[in-house]
Structure 1
Amino acid sequence: MVDINPLPLDRLSWKCNPESLKFNTTDQLEDLGQVLGQDRAIEAIRFGTNMSHKGYNIFALGPDGLDKHEVVMAFLKDRAREETVPSDWCYVYNFQDPRRPNALALPPGRGVQFSQDMSRLAEDIPFVLKNAFESEEYQTRSNMIQQEIKDAQDEALSAVDQEARQRGAALKMTPLGFTFVPIRDGKTVSPDEFRKLSEQEREDIEENLDYLREKLEEVLEFMPDLLTESREKMRKLNEETAGHAIGHLVEQLKKKYADLEEVIEYLAAAQEDIIQNVHQIVHGAEEEAARGPGPEGPQPHSFALEPGRYMVNLIVDNSDAKHAPVIHEDEPTYDRLLGRVEYRSEMGTLMTDFRLIRAGALHSVNGGYLVVDILKLLQHPYAYEALKRTLKSGEIKIESLGQVLGFINTVSLEPEPIPLEVKVVLLGTRILYYLLNSLDPEFTDLFKVAADFDEQMDRTEESLALYARMLASRIREEELRPFTSDAIARILERVVRYSGDSEKLSTRLKYVGDLLREADYHAGQDKKAQVTADHVDQAVKAREYRQSRMRERLLEQTGQGTILIDTSGSQVGQVNGLSVLDLGSYAFGRPTRITARVRLGKGEVVDIEREVKLGGPIHSKGVLILSSFLGAHYQPDLPLSLSASLVFEQSYGGIEGDSASMAELCTLLSAIAEIPLKQGMAITGSVNQQGQAQAIGGVNEKIEGFFDLCALRGLDGSQGVIIPVSNVRHLMLDQRVLEAIEAGKFNIYAVETVNEALTLLTGTAAGEKDEKGQYPDGTVNRKIQDRLRDFSIRLRKFAHPESADKDGEKETDEEDRS
């Protein structure tokens, strides 16, 4: 039997020598002005921000705890400092179509000036116009126009009256209008006198009256033309007066904004609208008050009559900005991204206008960079689709979600879309990135750049020095106590363990930051000015104590015998497997008894966990490999004739992963060969069809879980754990385990094949095949081979008793001769 020695102490954990760090406290280290361990992601972000073509937005992917947000924001802010401040944006009244407010872009800082100038203009308009229309000049010209129409009317009526008198009649004004009455000798003829006249005289008078009535109708038909002419003259007078009154105000603004063509066009349109609506602006409120409340009460004042229509709604103000904007939208709802139109209640009616348009994050970040968490974006209805639609169209269209879905048909505003130029960075996990990449065809067109953040970086002397500087930077940034070199060395050891690889450093800086703060807390409790390695150890132990209630309860139940796990003696078809329970921020190892039973059958290896739907697909795959291993290694020319069952004892939850497949194979082979396995040993590892041991995860937690159980019952030097050779580089065992190993009370073995594992577990050589495919006598594999062949003979005997006897005799003779 080939001896398989335990792993030496120096291969079980990496220790950082404080003297190699070359400093006493972190106060002696310079700040690290670079992102550590994320060269690939930084290069991707740099590429994405440099690409000006459409669709090169960025998705920063990686697990939580990598400080993706901080790294991305820091990079974008540095990049934004080199870029110019984008334009201000405002909405103004559309005089052609009030339902569609116009958007105006102004140079940064001039938007607020324009808004203030228009506010002052809107405030000045009523007073300026009122003064102009109350001026003596206006009153004189207005009276002249009124007098002209009055004189024209009087002249026309006077001519009719004169002609009437010549014909013996007079023009009289009655409550019902104008009428003619006959006169004689300058006196009106009464009805009685009229009846006393001769018939001829009456006919002559009637004839004259009919003629005069026709003449009066001609004059009266001309009167509306006189009124129209008068109103036109008054309109021109009003426009001329209003034009002179506000002309100098508008001209001042036109000179101030002469370089902005769109603003000049708007001012011209506003000036024209003021002139056209001067009467409503000046007299609208007075006429409204004069009319009094209607049958339904006072009516809301029409916005068309308010000077407020000439004000400006400034939605993006970059007057204080020094560079391009960088915004992280923490609540990416539909409205917060695209903006909204608000409403106000007036007399029970919802009213709105362009002044109630509110900007969204895309407006504020237009010309810069927007950072959004993809999970939060997907959690808000239609926010993700709205963002895609906006990026695809290249413009921001403010539209309520009810309108988009067709749930609301009320009249609302349709603000003019604003051109969009923005670089969007989504933050999320890898699974979300790959799901969107495969399920959403538009995703790859809009987010072409993947910035993949790495969880690890190589452990070298240079990277350790850089990591120490990064820790010093964080310590000063958070105003913590200085850390000594031995404290930093201890933290680096925890960082290596957290990476899951003794040759790597973890870049999950969230965990590192928590450890720094907690170690500083314990230094404060000890009233120390510096944080030492002891404080780091206290922080680690305190965190484990806070989270280890379940681990202690399971360990207690196992020690009491409630959960059956043997740590001494030997048993056939029984082995100690190892698993990891992950509780989110805390994981620990848990030993589990795995048993196997075999009997004559049809070559089936039954996974009881799978049969009761407690085993996951990867676990089931590992079990299915066992059947192929048995046939290929022990009986390639004969069918398997056994029926075996495997089960995780006292396991009542789901089981996933193939890390127990080597343990299952060993216990299955033990049951076939009827050779006992040492119960003081636990085993973990995956196995392939060749019998090679494959690496698994959580190796440190698994070893420590079994060690704690053995330590609870008493270490005798025979206990240990078998792991795959490929997992040796992942070992970063806790100090309590290392001390027991150094004292010879516990051992770790690394194996390359299941044969080596069998040798350790049985204390008997597993054996290797010779040229004829036979295993040496007395080996574990020979016993397995013999029993499988015996199963085959017995199964054939049951199926064909006569031929089976002859074949059995022949095979026995051939074996004797060999």
Structure 2
Amino acid sequence: MILAPKKLNWRLDLSELSIESLRCVYDPNAFQFDNTSELTDLQGIIGQERAVQSLEFGLDIDSDGFNIYAAGAPGTGKTTAITSFVQNRAKTKDNPSDWCYVQNFDDPRYPRLLAVPSGIGNALKDDISKLVEESSVNIIRALENDEYNAKVEEIINIGNTKKQELLNEISNNAQNYDFILQSSPTGLRLIPSKNGVPLSEEEINNLTPEQNDQLGKNHVIIEKQLKEVLGEIRAIDRIKLEEIQNLDFEIANYSLNPVIDELKQKYSSLDQVHSYLDEVRKDIVRNISTFKSSTEDGPDGTPQNASRTRIRQYQLNMIVDNSDSDGAPVVMETNPTLKNLLGYVERESHMGTLSTDFTMIRAGSMHRANGGYLIIRVEDILSNNSNWDGIKRCLKEKVIAIDDSPETQGLITNTLTINPQPIPLDVKIILIGDPGIYQALYSKDPDFTELFKVKVEFDNSMERTGKNISDYASFVSTLCRKEKLLHMSKTGVAKIIEHSSRMVEDQTRLSTQFAEISDIIRESNHWAKLASFDYIQSEHVDKAVENKSYRSGLIKDKILDMIHHGTISIDTTNQVAGQINGLSVMNLGEISFGKPNKITVSIGTGREGFIDIERESLLGGRLHSKGVMILAGYLTDKMSMNIPLSLVARLAFEQSYNEVDGDSASSTELYAILSALSELPINQGLAVTGSVNQKGQIQPIGGINHKIEGFFEVCKAQGLNGTQGVLIPHSNTKHLMLKTEIIESVKKGEFHIYSVETIDQGIEILTGVKAGLKKPNGRFDDGSVNLMVYEKLLMLGSNLRKFINPG
């Protein structure tokens, strides 16, 4: 049944919202400045008292496992805020040690760790290099000295003289026993002789048995003497070599001792350095032959590789240098792979062979953050399980161990590896992520609750207090100064405050989505510069917001055009029973907008009750289905506690082809059911949103501003006639931050916004008929909506009984 719209009655005037309640406007004159250039930079974190207290606690406590998880919605600026906060806190801490790796001279596969106070590492590294260079030059110079060569030659000559005397003696003895000594490739040989002349083979064969037997006895005697002589000669060679070595050791110690003693004095408080210097001295002395070989150039005129490699073993590999730190380090790891976190070992290729040593150990972000703070986005660390397991292993074992195994490094299994000494870990890790990941880790990973005991929650909004508004202005000033934007006038800042409240749909709160706010400020700066303004004004902020919406508003405009041309059927001018306009919000990435939906109801006799066509067609979500079920509860409680509901009511969202979810349309559906039962038409110029409970109380919903503005756009396109408007839950009034255009239309009486607390209030506005109170006899006021509904339910029940029992 379609009727012409009727005049608004008394109920409308009582429920219509005032102009002032539609938007919380901020007065620019409340600011104590003309533009943000007069303000100082923002200090600290805005409007996150809970988060700040939690963060301070997490940073202050030193007990194991009290690492931090900062949870909050993306775009709230938590990463920037936490980094800045931690950096300020880190400045109050002492600089941590410099971390170095040095050669393990006993077993090079296990490089040793050397920790020195901050700033000492570079000096020590240079001093060690100078020590090796100076000692090398001094040793080589001493080895090339004439005096050294003369001593070596003297030692050699003395030894050779003694050896020659022994050889002469054994040679004479051999002749006495009819043998002579003869040199051969295998050593000295005894040859039978007579009068000093070797016997020929024929002469040996012609010897009598007696002569042959005597020759054999003589050979045994002289061979024994020869062995004794050769033993003495080897002893002479050993003594000669030892004397030369002792001479070399004396020269090496003479060259090293002054330099090493000087370094020991310089680093007198560092026992680890003393021990290492002693090991360097011991190894240089033990391997002085390396320096001898360095005096011989290779084919290209450079020192031999073996010499270069040996000398490199005395260098110091400083993997973490904290000399330039201003307090404890703060490291933000943006690519937390296992190598980037825990370090790795490089390799060099020579003649097709991969080799490595302690000088190729490279630090990870855990090393650089040791003694300070490491900040990681949890989404990045969880992209690979091995990364997450690596961090947990370090925290549990309290060391940073570089894994150089072939499997980890992606090498063939027979590649030589090293195992650097693990570094003691003292770091506070701060994970940044959304609350959903926190809940998943908390419930699924037992280690998480033991290692990250401090949760820092960032809210997506804050109270709209004077202090927070002042801090907001300082934030604008800081951003403009940091990014060299035009500063913003107080009218522009007032618009930013209003837009911030609109973002969270709350007149009493401000958004903490500072990433989005910053983008609005940047776009406002663009429009202000384009118009040659000195400061960003309120109109530039409005233009930035409007243009951002326009750029992403293609789908919105197409839907509006389809409604205007009748492709999507939305009636805003007639009165129809069992039909109503509901409101929904479409979210498309960075833009959200309201869209009206025609909801219809058909009523008949039956026992099926309420049939949700959306659910039956698998287009209804669980929350929507719950909302539909509540409708039956309302009718049972309100109308027929003593009689069963004997009806079938089919609910449908017309021209809906996607899933419908949420309960924000439950009151809308109930109004359509009441209209269909009472056969009272509903003004189609009024759209409705709000959920309802079984007692008929209207409950708040989200997206209120988008819903109102979406229906307003449809009414404006079809022609505003003064009877159109929207019914919203009364509890949503504080969430209104409507566009100026709608407020102006309301001022002119072209559009109306009503707030309702109960279904009875709403049905009176929609039908123009009183809802009616329930009497003691169970009936309602005469001529009321509820009485018409009650009587219709009685009739449907009677019809059902007659159908079942026709006699």
Q: TM-score, normalised by structure 1?
A: 0.91
Could you tell me how far 1:108 is from its partner in structure 2? 1.0
Please give the secondary structure, in 1, of the residue aligned with 2:597.
Answer: strand
- Mapped to 2, the partners of 1:743 and 1:402 lie a distance apart of 78
Per the alignment, residue 341 of structure 2 pairs with 337
What one-letter code is carried by the residue in structure 1 that aligns with 2:591? Y
Could you tell me how far 1:513 is from its partner in structure 2? 1.8
Give the conservation status (yes or no) of the 8 Å contact 2:140–2:291: no
Correspondence for 2:502 among 478, 497, 505: 497
Structural RMSD (CA): 2.7
Please give the secondary structure, in 1, of the residue aligned with 2:188.
Answer: strand
What's the CA shift string for 1:113-153, capped at 9, x where partnerless? 11112223333454333333333343334334433443343
Give the conservation status (yes or no) of the 8 Å contact 2:610–2:648: yes
The reply to whether residue 485 of structure 1 matches residue 485 of structure 2 is: no
Per the alignment, residue 550 of structure 1 pairs with 555
Per the alignment, residue 88 of structure 2 pairs with 78
Give the conservation status (yes or no) of the 8 Å contact 2:293–2:307: no
Correspondence for 1:255 among 261, 265, 288: 265
The reply to whether residue 468 of structure 1 matches residue 478 of structure 2 is: no
What one-letter code is carried by the residue in structure 1 that aligns with 2:30? S
Correspondence for 1:61 among 67, 71, 85: 71
Could you tell me how far 1:248 is from its partner in structure 2? 2.7
Q: 1:590 to 1:209 in 2, by over 3 A?
A: same
Could you tell me how far 1:506 is from its partner in structure 2? 1.9
Please give the secondary structure, in 2, of the residue aligned with 1:99.
Answer: coil
Per the alignment, residue 809 of structure 1 pairs with none
**Which stretches in structure 2 are left out of the alignment for 5+ residues?**
1-8
What one-letter code is carried by the residue in structure 1 that aligns with 2:769? T
- Mapped to 1, the partners of 2:694 and 2:410 lie a distance apart of 60
Q: 1:353 to 1:678 in 2, by over 3 A?
A: same
What's the CA shift string for 1:479-531, capped at 9, x where partnerless? 33333332222222212212211122222222222222222221211112222
Per the alignment, residue 364 of structure 2 pairs with 360
Per the alignment, residue 19 of structure 1 pairs with 29
Per the alignment, residue 540 of structure 2 pairs with 535
Please give the secondary structure, in 1, of the residue aligned with 2:598.
Answer: strand
Per the alignment, residue 315 of structure 1 pairs with 319
Please give the secondary structure, in 1, of the residue aligned with 2:446.
Answer: coil
What one-letter code is carried by the residue in structure 2 that aligns with 1:590? K
- Mapped to 2, the partners of 1:261 and 1:684 lie a distance apart of 77
Per the alignment, residue 806 of structure 1 pairs with none
Which has the higher mean CA deviation after the structures are superposed, 574-583 or 316-325? Answer: 316-325
The reply to whether residue 264 of structure 1 matches residue 268 of structure 2 is: no
Per the alignment, residue 296 of structure 1 pairs with none
- Mapped to 1, the partners of 2:375 and 2:136 lie a distance apart of 46
Which has the higher mean CA deviation after the structures are superposed, 239-248 or 659-668? Answer: 239-248
Q: 1:167 to 1:11 in 2, by over 3 A?
A: closer
Could you tell me how far 1:308 is from its partner in structure 2? 0.3
The reply to whether residue 8 of structure 1 matches residue 52 of structure 2 is: no
Give the conservation status (yes or no) of the 8 Å contact 2:599–2:672: yes
Correspondence for 1:239 among 233, 249, 253: 249
Give the conservation status (yes or no) of the 8 Å contact 1:603–1:640: no
- Mapped to 2, the partners of 1:38 and 1:745 lie a distance apart of 42
Question: Matches of residues 683-698 of structure 1 in structure 2 within 5 Å?
Answer: 683-698=688-703
Could you tell me how far 1:401 is from its partner in structure 2? 8.3
Which has the higher mean CA deviation after the structures are superposed, 155-164 or 71-80? Answer: 155-164
The reply to whether residue 585 of structure 1 matches residue 590 of structure 2 is: yes
Question: Matches of residues 291-440 of structure 1 in structure 2 within 5 Å?
Answer: 306-400=310-404, 403=407, 409=413, 410-440=415-445
What's the CA shift string for 1:260-292, capped at 9, x where partnerless? 1111111111221222222245338969989xx
Give the conservation status (yes or no) of the 8 Å contact 1:126–1:282: no
Q: 1:707 to 1:147 in 2, by over 3 A?
A: same
Q: 1:12 to 1:119 in 2, by over 3 A?
A: same
- Mapped to 1, the partners of 2:307 and 2:293 lie a distance apart of 14
Which has the higher mean CA deviation after the structures are superposed, 267-276 or 182-191? Answer: 182-191
The reply to whether residue 658 of structure 1 matches residue 658 of structure 2 is: no
The reply to whether residue 776 of structure 1 matches residue 766 of structure 2 is: no
Give the conservation status (yes or no) of the 8 Å contact 1:85–1:321: yes
Which has the higher mean CA deviation after the structures are superposed, 127-136 or 488-497? Answer: 127-136
What's the CA shift string for 1:229-279, capped at 9, x where partnerless? 444444444333333333333223222222111111111112212222222
Correspondence for 1:566 among 559, 571, 577: 571
What one-letter code is carried by the residue in structure 2 that aligns with 1:674? E
Per the alignment, residue 92 of structure 1 pairs with 102
Give the conservation status (yes or no) of the 8 Å contact 2:180–2:196: no
- Mapped to 2, the partners of 1:581 and 1:705 lie a distance apart of 10
Give the conservation status (yes or no) of the 8 Å contact 1:303–1:309: no
Q: 1:277 to 1:612 in 2, by over 3 A?
A: farther
Give the conservation status (yes or no) of the 8 Å contact 1:577–1:591: yes
Per the alignment, residue 724 of structure 2 pairs with 719
The reply to whether residue 112 of structure 1 matches residue 122 of structure 2 is: yes
Give the conservation status (yes or no) of the 8 Å contact 2:140–2:295: no
Please give the secondary structure, in 2, of the residue aligned with 1:579.
Answer: strand
Q: 1:115 to 1:741 in 2, by over 3 A?
A: same
- Mapped to 2, the partners of 1:237 and 1:34 lie a distance apart of 69
Per the alignment, residue 628 of structure 1 pairs with 633
What's the CA shift string for 1:578-614, capped at 9, x where partnerless? 0111223221111111122232332432222223332
Per the alignment, residue 207 of structure 1 pairs with 217
Give the conservation status (yes or no) of the 8 Å contact 1:157–1:219: yes
Which has the higher mean CA deviation after the structures are superposed, 583-592 or 409-418? Answer: 409-418
Please give the secondary structure, in 2, of the residue aligned with 1:111.
Answer: helix
Question: Matches of residues 714-793 of structure 1 in structure 2 within 5 Å?
Answer: 714-793=719-798
Give the conservation status (yes or no) of the 8 Å contact 1:280–1:305: no
Give the conservation status (yes or no) of the 8 Å contact 2:476–2:488: no
- Mapped to 2, the partners of 1:550 and 1:285 lie a distance apart of 81
What one-letter code is carried by the residue in structure 2 that aligns with 1:162? N
Could you tell me how far 1:543 is from its partner in structure 2? 1.8
Per the alignment, residue 652 of structure 2 pairs with 647
Please give the secondary structure, in 2, of the residue aligned with 1:306.
Answer: helix
- Mapped to 1, the partners of 2:435 and 2:307 lie a distance apart of 53
What one-letter code is carried by the residue in structure 1 that aligns with 2:137? F
Q: 1:245 to 1:573 in 2, by over 3 A?
A: same
- Mapped to 1, the partners of 2:668 and 2:49 lie a distance apart of 40
Q: 1:639 to 1:125 in 2, by over 3 A?
A: farther
Q: 1:303 to 1:431 in 2, by over 3 A?
A: farther
- Mapped to 2, the partners of 1:582 and 1:48 lie a distance apart of 37
Please give the secondary structure, in 1, of the residue aligned with 2:382.
Answer: helix
The reply to whether residue 142 of structure 1 matches residue 144 of structure 2 is: no
Could you tell me how far 1:202 is from its partner in structure 2? 4.8
Question: Matches of residues 268-279 of structure 1 in structure 2 within 5 Å?
Answer: 268-279=278-289
Which has the higher mean CA deviation after the structures are superposed, 444-453 or 667-676? Answer: 667-676
What one-letter code is carried by the residue in structure 2 that aligns with 1:726? S
- Mapped to 2, the partners of 1:400 and 1:632 lie a distance apart of 73
What one-letter code is carried by the residue in structure 2 that aligns with 1:142? V
Which has the higher mean CA deviation after the structures are superposed, 18-27 or 566-575? Answer: 18-27
Per the alignment, residue 810 of structure 1 pairs with none
Q: 1:88 to 1:799 in 2, by over 3 A?
A: same
Please give the secondary structure, in 1, of the residue aligned with 2:163.
Answer: helix
Per the alignment, residue 4 of structure 2 pairs with none
Per the alignment, residue 3 of structure 2 pairs with none
Give the conservation status (yes or no) of the 8 Å contact 1:332–1:380: no
Per the alignment, residue 811 of structure 1 pairs with none
Q: 1:693 to 1:105 in 2, by over 3 A?
A: same
Correspondence for 1:159 among 169, 172, 184: 169
Could you tell me how far 1:40 is from its partner in structure 2? 1.5
What one-letter code is carried by the residue in structure 2 that aligns with 1:621? K
Count the aligned residue pairs.
793
- Mapped to 1, the partners of 2:92 and 2:110 lie a distance apart of 36
Could you tell me how far 1:726 is from its partner in structure 2? 0.2
Please give the secondary structure, in 2, of the residue aligned with 1:3.
Answer: helix
Could you tell me how far 1:670 is from its partner in structure 2? 2.4
Per the alignment, residue 294 of structure 1 pairs with none
Per the alignment, residue 131 of structure 2 pairs with 121
Could you tell me how far 1:183 is from its partner in structure 2? 4.7
- Mapped to 1, the partners of 2:166 and 2:529 lie a distance apart of 107
Give the conservation status (yes or no) of the 8 Å contact 1:138–1:241: no
